[in-house]
Amino acid sequence: MEVNMADKPWYQQTSDEVFVRLETQESGLSEASVKERREKYGANELAAKKQSSLFEKFVAQFKDLMIIVLIIAAVIAGLTGEIVDAVIILAVVILNAIFGVFQESKAEEAINSLKEMAAPIAHVERNGQVQTVKSSELVPGDIVHLEAGDIVPADLRLAVANAMKVEESALTGESVPVDKQSGVLKEANLALGDRSNMAFMSSNITAGRGSGVVVETGMHTEVGKIARMIDNAVETKTPLQENLAQLGRWLTILILAIAVLVFVIGLLRGQETVVDMLLTAISLAVAAIPEGLPAIVTITLALGTQRMAKQNALIRKLPAVETLGSTDIIASDKTGTLTQNKMTVEQLYVNQQLVGGAEAEVRLSDPLALAMILNNDSKFTDDGLAGDPTETALIQYYLNRDEPVAASISSNKRVAEIPFDSERKLMSTFNETNDGDIVQYVKGAPDQLLKRVTAILDNGTVRPMTDEDRQQLLSVNHQLATQALRVLAFAKRNVSELPASLSSEVDEQGLTFIGLIGMIDPERPEVEQAVIEAKGAGIRPLMITGDHRDTATAIAGRLGILDPTADNDGRVITGAELDALSDAEFEQRVGDFSVYARVAPEHKVRIVHAWQKHGKVVAMTGDGVNDAPALKAADIGVGMGITGTEVSKGASDMVLADDNFSTIVVAVEEGRKVFANIQKSLQYLLSANIGEVLTLFIMTLLGWQILAPVQILWINLVTDTFPAIALGLEPAEPDIMDRKPRGRSSNFFSGGVFSNVMYQGLLEGLMTLGVYWFAITYPVHPATELAHADALTMAFATLGLIQLFHAFNSKTIHQSLFKVGLFRNKAFNWAILVAFILLGATIVIPGFNSMFHVTELAMSQWAVVLGAGVSMIIIVEIVKAVQRAAGKE
């Protein structure tokens, strides 16, 4: 059965078939045809969905339930006359909204950066003439001419490719430019990096020239597909955002229930007026709302970003700080992230010996060294070497050894060449020495070069090549290839006279073999240790790359992502194999794979989603355009600051300023510390608020005089703000990187925090009520109105001071306070001191008494209050010791 051309991918069609399908010809389209097609296909531009206005983004920030609770708290504070408190709460809400708008606007930069990568102009054949037009005006069927230095303006099926190389690493993950050709490719389902007869929009021509037919424009190009994935990606909520939303819902229900209950009980007792009970209910609501929590979370995260910035981890979105701490999976792009994204000579085979690149003593006088630097099109520029990464690496090898490379090149002037092409896989240069001798140097694929070799250079002596020599060379080539090294072979030939015309069939024969070199894009030296640390922290590292399976497997083994001594076939999967799995099959087997080779952008997104469906928090690192959709889909996208494209940075939550993979591990530790400190602040705040609610609730039930709204607000302002923020500055506990990731299913109340909040809040309330009862039962001023005022003052002082003492307990969830250090955190020490002074000032400074409805206390009364505060530390320390003994920490 004949296959319809429209059903075949462009790379499987011949140039003639493409011309027929697109109704075009070598002389190009007519102006009329261009106009008609532009109306049909639209402009060759990347589009994006309509973006919200700044005002719409700002309003959307107030839809969060916790924000609504804060606004209610501000209204309540205003109704009770505490205008300053109301203004502070509203200021926090507005600042959070502004920061949210900033985050959203920054996220939209990814698409804009992608647009900027497009070529501004194109050289196109129309009506038989070459014209220079805007790239946006290209249409399918246009014939585009390309040469070194051009940016490919659309997706092209190449019709002519003369020694053309295209740098596609940002799109495919390939670490070196790809050789292009114009022939048809018969294999089905080829990865982008294997479509050698195609040139893709936004890639760069590094060598050669050619022409091609525009087959896809705008959003239908491969870059356009990436733009669509970025645009349509669903922003996943971070664990922190989910936890805060859950807490907001829980607190809202609790606050409303308590306020209504107290209001109804007070009215049923008949001892209070409706207005008095309304104020009481408001006091309870104020006591229950941790209005400082969002500010504390924001400040703690912001301080975390500052510390991480000093470690070269630049945070673009605040919640990303905490998300790092909950990371289960780090899915890392290979090229430029795990590796250095630059080719390096690693092995040399010379004089029948294989030696490491670092140990080799091959001087520029050696024929192999001369072949490496003379058969080379690299250029010296003010910014360093420019040219093909493979060729620049050959010269850099000798520059690193302080060899006089420039002098050797100038004394061996190139007089002719046979350029490289992808079919014969060879390149020859003819160089004339200062003595007038002409030497031909040849480099290329070992299997192709060995077909043309008749002699071998053996320790300075040229002798005939034997079958044994060939088998030895093929064996060495195989040995290097299995190490994922790119192998080049070199040969030479002395030429008596330069031929009038050069051809490969005649002039690349009778060569003398002089050596092999093995090259690789080497792993970053710090990554291996970072992988070990990540595994020790319970984090699973994955490698995702556009490179071939063997290269990916070898690098993963060198880094420790795979066990180099084991059979890793079942641990490595290619993009084609991944395509053969349904989403359900892949989700079931995703845990089997640690390395993904020859993958496309949509594969990376599938990998992220598959792990997320297992409840895992996924961090994705990358530097290319092809990484952007997965960076945005991941719980935290990590871009590269130096080698990364602006597109990948725009889609990231965090950018590594030094492109250092180990910085991620440092950031994970900081993220874990941030979450632990937020947990400590939350435990402190909620236990304090429960203590306040319990105190007011029991006082109402027993008909006792209750604390006034102004007293509750002052306690909240003084004790909630400074100590809670200072807890966010606590140093990391020593074993924080020995713990397993807490994962997406955990929350702020995990790890015993909920039980701590409940019993510690209950303890604070009961001790405050106990002090009030003691003051009423054993008054310093018996049988006077002052007795009740003293009791209320002691309850006020106890409720405030006991929270300050409890702040010390909250420095660690389970460890002993005396183990982590009482006074290590200087900011905390100052916070407690300031809070103590502000709280005490309301009682001891004349004039404040009437403002806060309190009385001066005697020394014996202060002793009772301070005794209650100290006992809070003692009791909690005993409970922690019991928890540790029971293995509950």
* DSSP state string for 491-515: EEEEESS--SS--HHHHS-SEEEEE
Nearest to 587 by CA among 616, 627, 563: 616
Question: Among the options 150, 194, 333, 635, which is catalytic?
Answer: 333
- 728's CB contacts (< 8 A; 6+ apart) are 296, 299, 300, 303, 674, 677, 678, 680, 681
Q: Which of 281-285, 595-599, 762-766 has the lowest mean pLDDT?
A: 281-285
What is the rounded CA–CA span in Å between residue 721 and residue 290?
10
Residue 602 domain-assigned (yes or no): yes
pLDDT of residue 684 exceeding 50, the answer is yes
Cα 731 from chain centre: 24
pLDDT of residue 166 exceeding 70, the answer is yes
pLDDT of residue 47 exceeding 80, the answer is no
What is the rounded CA–CA span in Å between residue 233 and residue 227?
10
Nearest to 140 by CA among 237, 263, 259, 224: 224
Output the pLDDT for position 498: 87
What is the rounded CA–CA span in Å between residue 246 and residue 135?
49
Rounded mean pLDDT, 676-705: 84
Q: Between β-strands 572-574 and 511-520, what pairing exists: parallel, antiparallel or unpaired?
A: unpaired
Give the DSSP H or E segment for 152: none
pLDDT of residue 64 exceeding 90, the answer is no
Statement to judge: residues 777 and 820 lie in one domain: yes
Residue 671 domain-assigned (yes or no): no
**Token pair for residue 630?**
């997965």
Output the pLDDT for position 763: 94
pLDDT of residue 593 exceeding 70, the answer is yes
Cα 855 from chain centre: 57
Statement to judge: residues 571 and 613 lie in one domain: yes
List b or e across 389-398, with b for residues whose CB sees 16 or more CB atoms inside 10 angstroms. bbbbbbbbbb
- HEC per residue, 605-626: HHHHHHHHCCCCCEEEEECCHH
CATH of the domain at 137: 2.70.150.10
More confident: 549 or 568: 549
What is the rounded CA–CA span in Å between residue 693 and residue 699?
10
pLDDT of residue 2 exceeding 50, the answer is no
Statement to judge: residues 191 and 256 lie in one domain: no
Output the pLDDT for position 765: 92
Statement to judge: residues 454 and 528 lie in one domain: no
pLDDT of residue 287 exceeding 70, the answer is no
pLDDT of residue 743 exceeding 90, the answer is no
Residue 669 domain-assigned (yes or no): no
**Token pair for residue 311?**
């470690």
HSE, side-chain direction, 13 A CA sphere, residue 538: 18
Q: Do 161 and 208 form a contact (C-beta atoms < 8 A)? A: yes
Q: Nearest 10 degrees: CA dihedral of 153, 155, 158, 162?
A: 40
CATH of the domain at 596: 3.40.50.1000
Statement to judge: residues 551 and 632 lie in one domain: yes
Residue 88 domain-assigned (yes or no): yes
Q: Between β-strands 155-167 and 178-179, what pairing exists: parallel, antiparallel or unpaired?
A: antiparallel
Output the pLDDT for position 397: 92
User: What's the domain range around 437?
Assistant: 344-520
CA distances from 762 to 688, 817, 868 (A): 9, 20, 14
Which backbone phi and psi does 266 adopt, to 5 degrees? -60, -40
Residue 869 domain-assigned (yes or no): yes
Tell me which amino acid residue 421 is: D
Output the pLDDT for position 250: 75
Output the pLDDT for position 279: 63
Give the DSSP H or E segment for 238: none
Name the band, by pLDDT with cuts 50, 70 and 90, for residue 839.
Answer: confident
What is the rounded CA–CA span in Å between residue 836 and residue 51?
49
More confident: 115 or 56: 56
Statement to judge: residues 506 and 537 lie in one domain: no
For the chain, the 3-state helix, strand and coil shares in percent, each to the nearest 5, are 50, 15, 30
CATH of the domain at 787: 1.20.1110.10
Give the DSSP H or E segment for 545: none
Rounded mean pLDDT, 602-612: 90
pLDDT of residue 75 exceeding 80, the answer is no
What is the rounded CA–CA span in Å between residue 322 and residue 326?
7
Statement to judge: residues 118 and 227 lie in one domain: yes
pTM (two decimals):
0.68
Q: Is the dihedral of CA 699, 705, 711, 713 positive or negative?
A: positive
Residue 153 domain-assigned (yes or no): yes
550 assigned to active site: no
SS3 596: strand
Name the band, by pLDDT with cuts 50, 70 and 90, for residue 396.
Answer: very high
- 107's CB contacts (< 8 A; 6+ apart) are 235, 317, 632, 650, 651
**Token pair for residue 659?**
């492109």
Q: Which of 405-409, 530-534, 743-747, 852-856 has the lowest mean pLDDT?
A: 743-747
Q: Do 287 and 692 form a contact (C-beta atoms < 8 A)? A: yes
Q: Is the dihedral of CA 737, 739, 743, 746 positive or negative?
A: negative
Q: Do 879 and 759 form a contact (C-beta atoms < 8 A)? A: yes
Top-confidence range, 242-246, 300-304, 366-370, 839-843:
366-370
Output the pLDDT for position 110: 42
Rounded mean pLDDT, 365-387: 89
Name the band, by pLDDT with cuts 50, 70 and 90, for residue 207.
Answer: confident
SS3 376: coil
Nearest to 637 by CA among 310, 307, 337: 337
Q: Do 606 and 578 form a contact (C-beta atoms < 8 A)? A: yes
More confident: 794 or 278: 794
Statement to judge: residues 697 and 627 lie in one domain: no
Rounded mean pLDDT, 820-836: 86
pLDDT of residue 61 exceeding 70, the answer is no
**Token pair for residue 508?**
């690349």
What is the rounded CA–CA span in Å between residue 865 and residue 800?
10
State the chain's mean pLDDT as an integer: 82
Q: Give tens-digit pLDDT for 87-132.
A: 756 765 676 566 556 545 544 454 444 444 445 778 899 988 888 8
Residue 668 domain-assigned (yes or no): no
Nearest to 837 by CA among 756, 722, 724, 684: 722
**Token pair for residue 662?**
């180990």
Statement to judge: residues 508 and 363 lie in one domain: yes
Q: Do 199 and 152 form a contact (C-beta atoms < 8 A)? A: yes
Q: Which of 467, 501, 520 is the last residue of a domain?
A: 520
**Token pair for residue 691?**
């203590």
User: To the nearest whole percent, how much of the chain has pLDDT over 90?
Assistant: 28
CATH of the domain at 446: 3.40.1110.10
What is the rounded CA–CA span in Å between residue 488 and residue 846?
89
Output the pLDDT for position 840: 86
Distance in angstroms between the alpha carbons of the first and the last residue of the chain: 70
Q: Give tens-digit pLDDT for 5-21.
A: 567 899 999 988 999 99
Rounded mean pLDDT, 337-357: 85
Statement to judge: residues 225 and 257 lie in one domain: no
CA distances from 652 to 232, 647, 870 (A): 15, 9, 48
The residues pairing with 495 across neighbouring beta strands, listed in sequence order, are: 438
Residue 134 domain-assigned (yes or no): yes
Structural domains counted in the chain: 5
Q: Do 798 and 771 form a contact (C-beta atoms < 8 A)? A: yes
Q: Give tens-digit pLDDT for 491-534.
A: 999 998 888 888 888 899 999 999 999 998 888 888 889 899 89
Rounded mean pLDDT, 564-574: 84
Q: Which of 232, 259, 284 is the last residue of a domain?
A: 232
Q: Which of 208, 232, 256 is the last residue of a domain?
A: 232
Rounded mean pLDDT, 163-183: 79
Statement to judge: residues 139 and 100 lie in one domain: no
What is the rounded CA–CA span in Å between residue 400 and residue 392?
12
User: 367: buried, middle or exposed (CB in 10 Å: 19+, 13-18, 0-12)?
Assistant: buried
pLDDT of residue 73 exceeding 70, the answer is no
Q: Do 375 and 442 form a contact (C-beta atoms < 8 A)? A: yes
- HEC per residue, 427-471: EEEEEEECCCCEEEEEEECHHHHHCCEEEEEECCEEEECCHHHHH
Q: Do 696 and 287 form a contact (C-beta atoms < 8 A)? A: yes
Output the pLDDT for position 545: 85
Statement to judge: residues 738 and 863 lie in one domain: yes
